[in-house]
Structures are given as C-alpha cells and as structure tokens.
Amino acid sequence: MSDNEQQKGVNRFGQNTTTMIPDDAPLARNPGHKLRTSNVIVNRKALTDEEALLNSYKLDKPTGQKIQFYNEAGQTGVIRIANSEEAPHVPNQFTGPSFRNPPQRFRFDGHKMMHHLDRVMAWQNGEHFAPIHIDMGLTKFCNTACIYCYAVVQNMTKGTMIGREALLSYIEDCGKLGVRSIGFIGDGEPTLNPALYDATVLAGKLGIDTSMATNGLLLDMDRAHDLLQNMSWIRFNLSAGTPDGFRRVHQSREENFDLLIDKIRELVRIKKEYGYKCTLGLQMVLIPECFDEVLPEAKLGAELGVDYFVIKHCSDSEYKEIGINYDEYLKIGDVLKEAESYSNGNYVVQAKWNKINAAAESALYKDGYRKYDVCYGTPFLLQISGNGKVYPCGPFFNKERFYIGDLHEQSFYEMVTGERYWQVHQDVQSSVDVHKDCAIGCRQDYVNKFLWDLKNPPEHINFI
C-alpha cells in the first residue's frame, strides 16, 4: 500500500482540487452522483470482507499493515500496526471497536464540571448552592522565595495564618454545606500551619476530598500517614531537577533540594508499602529560568516513582508583575514533547498545552484575553486566603470591594447562606471585565469557558 499522497488536479469547473485516494485502493463501480472532484471514490466494503475479519493475517493484504486483535470489556477490536517506521495513511476502515486512545488518567489541562451537573442545574435554575471545590491558603507566608511566586502580588504577611479553631469549624461547615473538595493551595505554604494535619483528618472523616500543593521542605514526616491516608493528592511545587536549578528558581539552598527529594522518596515508599491511594506528583511552573530543568525533572520524577510531573504556565497578574513574555513558551515545545515521552504506565508527564500555547493563539486569548466575557465560575470554585479571609478568587485577594468575610468572625455556613456572599459573586459577574481586570490564566478559566458556553447556546441545540 502506498502512502496517501496528495493528488492535485483541476475539476470540471476549472477549480483546483486535492485528493488523497491511495493508488491501490479498490474503487467503487457505481459511486452515485458526481462529487466536486469526480466520481472516483474508494469502495470501503471491498477493503475488508467476512473472511478477512475472521483471519487476522488476511487483513494484512488490503492494508499492508500488521493486525492485532485487542480484547477489552468483552469486545474485540482491531489495532493496525504499520510495517514501516512511518505509518502509512490508509482509508478509514472501521472493523469494530478500536482502543488506540488510552484513557486520560488526570485532567490537568481542563475541567471536570460534567461530573457535577447537579450544581450546574442549580445554577441554571437561579438557586444558591455550595462550591464544588475550594482552593484555600493556610498561611500568608513561605519558607522559600520562588521567583515566579504569584502570592507576592497578594500581599504576603509574615506569621499570618488562619487559626486552628476557625479552620476546623470551617471544615465542619464545608461538610454541612456539601463542599466536595478542598485544596490547601493558596497564597502561603500550607505546611507552615500546624493545624494542616488535623484539618485533613477531619475532612477525611466528613467525606470531603482534600489535597495540597507544597514546597515540601517542612512537611512533618511524623504525620505522613495522616496525609497519605486522607488526601487525594499531594503536589510538590518543584520547578527544578537539579540542586543548581533549585537554588536559582526557588532561591533556596542546594542542600534543601536533597532534603526535599529524600522526603518525596520516603512518601512514595510509605504510600506503596501501605497501599495508600494518595497521588503524589511534581509540578513545574514554567519560566525561561527553568527551561533547562524540564528534562532533568522529568527523569527525576520517573526515578522517584511519583505518579506525575506536570508542567504549567506561569500565571502573571493583571499588571504583569512577574514579567512573563508568553512568546518565550513557543520556543520550548520540542523540549516539553521530549519530557512527555518519559511517561510510562505508572508515570504521567504532561504539559498544559492549552495555556502554554496561548501565545500562539489569535489576538483573542493572547495577553490575557479570554474566550468568554463574564466570569461565572467563582461560586463553583471559590478561593480563600491563608489569613481566613474569603474572596471570590485568588487574584482578588485584598480587593476590598469583593471581600466576603473572615472565617475568624463568621461561620462559613452563615457566609454561603447569607446575602453578602451572593452579592459579591453577582458583582464579579456584572462589573469585572475579564479581559482586563483579571490575572492571566486564572484558576477558574476552564470552568468559566464551560459556563459561558452553557449561558450562550447557539441556535438549534437539539441538533447535537
């Protein structure tokens, strides 16, 4: 079978045409009416016949490929494997279920709103409802000083953190309200708040999923079991694969790199020994200063035995204080692809292409422009500052117009069922210009796009 090469011609109207019909494909005798090109079409029926379907070796003949049967969920499918290194193009020949696309283990580069349609329905019906997920800081300070840190623009305050009692009663309220997950991910480093561990255990008892993003250096290994038993995932903010890169990007001592690696290695060991489900991963915030660390970290993750290594864009603020030139990302695509090739059955390496490639998009979406005009996502995905103050989203921390309340002064249950909470979300929807007033690529971005599409359906929606 030859490759499908482009065949250029001029049709009966004098217009240029390009077809890709393989030279040796069987052609239909009575193709019906003429197409734009001609009346030459492939006889798809002749590509396979009943006998060929019964004998995989005979299937080699019409396609020039090796055939492998694949069983999954009681069904047999056919996988075609190219003989040559470069796969030949063949006409579409559906011969049963095919399982070429492995299921996606994680959804780093998108959202999961389809799994929470009850809340979406409540929103469409104009009801009040609890957030599906909350990202929450537990402190407003940190023990490292990563050069890409967004929290710096959120006013870091040394020593400030949500108090233990306020945190635990907030967790109780989340259980009462039906919040489904909480990520201890926010302005400050969560392990600096000693109540982290008890809050995690309490959430586990109440059936709330938890997770954490941490630099890991001060993680209390005596409480490792509490975390691994109760958290759905722990993500290490690590944007380097070498001690030198670690010093440069995280502005921390090189010895701390080894300390962190030892802790991650030990957590992986405990997880495996006790069969804990908690996913352990590494996350790099991509900036030009760590481009050379991508491949070393991809290899390091495989060697450590963590579940994933994800590479994400750096969110810059509405004033671009971190100074990211998103065009720089267009130079590193090959390296990111190579990093992804280190994935294996137990280890996923993935770049968040949608956002990393934003600079290659049209003027819309470049430089912070969004694919929607209104932010509807904040009631679904709320963000709380590490000092216990509740705002609709992280980029609006300290913007007092959008301040909802303080968990030290008011219960979270009262807040969510009260007026101020919904007034603020409404204010976001009616007054914020998402193209200008917002951080680039904020956390609610994917959710907002989904909700915008729902709110602005095209005509004829029943013609799916």
Q: What is the DSSP string of 163-190?
A: -HHHHHHHHHHHHHHT--EEEE-SSS-G
- Sheet with 348-351, strands from edge to edge, namely 348-351, 308-312, 279-285, 231-237, 209-214, 181-184, 133-136, 381-384, 389-391, 405-406
State the nearest-atom distance from the C-beta of 380 to ligand SF4, in Å: 10
> 186 with 386: CB under 8 angstroms?
yes
Piece of the chain touching ligand SF4 by CB under 6 A; list 88-96, 116-124, 283-291, 374-382: 374-382
Sign of CA dihedral 128, 447, 313, 434: negative
State the nearest-atom distance from the C-beta of 381 to ligand SF4, in Å: 8
State the nearest-atom distance from the C-beta of 369 to ligand SF4, in Å: 12
Six token digits for residue 221 = 């290994």
Among 224, 234, 442, 451, binds ligand SF4 (CB under 6 A): 442
188 versus 377: smaller Cβ distance to ligand SF4: 377
Residue 356 phi, psi (nearest 5): -65, -35
State the nearest-atom distance from the C-beta of 318 to ligand SF4, in Å: 8
C-alpha dist (Å) from residue 323 to 3, 148, 195, 329, 452: 47, 9, 35, 13, 29
393 versus 407: smaller Cβ distance to ligand SF4: 393
35-49 as b/e: b if 16+ CB within 10 A: eebeeeebeeeebbe
252 binds ligand SF4 (CB under 6 A): no
C-alpha dist (Å) from residue 258 to 73, 244, 332: 45, 11, 27
State the nearest-atom distance from the C-beta of 180 to ligand SF4, in Å: 19
Q: Which string of x and - marks every residue 103-122 that binds ligand SF4 (by CB under 6 A)?
A: --------------------
Strands (E), 215-368: 231-237, 279-285, 308-312, 348-351
> 308 with 347: CB under 8 angstroms?
yes
Among 62, 379, 395, 405, binds ligand SF4 (CB under 6 A): 395
CA atoms within 13 A on the CB side of 160: 16
Six token digits for residue 300 = 């390091």
Size of the site for ligand SF4 (CB under 6 A): 14
State the nearest-atom distance from the C-beta of 149 to ligand SF4, in Å: 17
195 versus 393: smaller Cβ distance to ligand SF4: 393
131 versus 395: smaller Cβ distance to ligand SF4: 395
State the nearest-atom distance from the C-beta of 118 to ligand SF4, in Å: 22
432 binds ligand SF4 (CB under 6 A): yes
Six token digits for residue 330 = 């267009």
Piece of the chain touching ligand SF4 by CB under 6 A; list 94-102, 280-288, 373-381, 403-411: 373-381
Nearest to 336 by CA among 289, 280, 297: 297
Among 428, 440, 450, 451, binds ligand SF4 (CB under 6 A): 428
Among 151, 192, 249, 438, binds ligand SF4 (CB under 6 A): 438
203 versus 439: smaller Cβ distance to ligand SF4: 439
Q: Which string of x and - marks every residue 142-181 that binds ligand SF4 (by CB under 6 A)?
A: ----------------------------------------
For helices 243-250 and 254-274, angle between their N-to-C axes, nearest 10 degrees: 110
d(CA 390, CA 199): 18
406 versus 437: smaller Cβ distance to ligand SF4: 437
Nearest to 185 by CA among 455, 425, 383: 383
d(CA 204, CA 408): 22
Among 193, 378, 385, 387, binds ligand SF4 (CB under 6 A): 378
Among 396, 397, 412, 452, binds ligand SF4 (CB under 6 A): 396
Piece of the chain touching ligand SF4 by CB under 6 A; list 39-47, 137-145, 342-350, 441-449: 441-449
439 binds ligand SF4 (CB under 6 A): yes
State the nearest-atom distance from the C-beta of 236 to ligand SF4, in Å: 25
Binding positions for ligand SF4, rule: CB under 6 A: 375, 377-378, 393, 395-396, 428, 432, 434, 438-439, 442, 444, 448
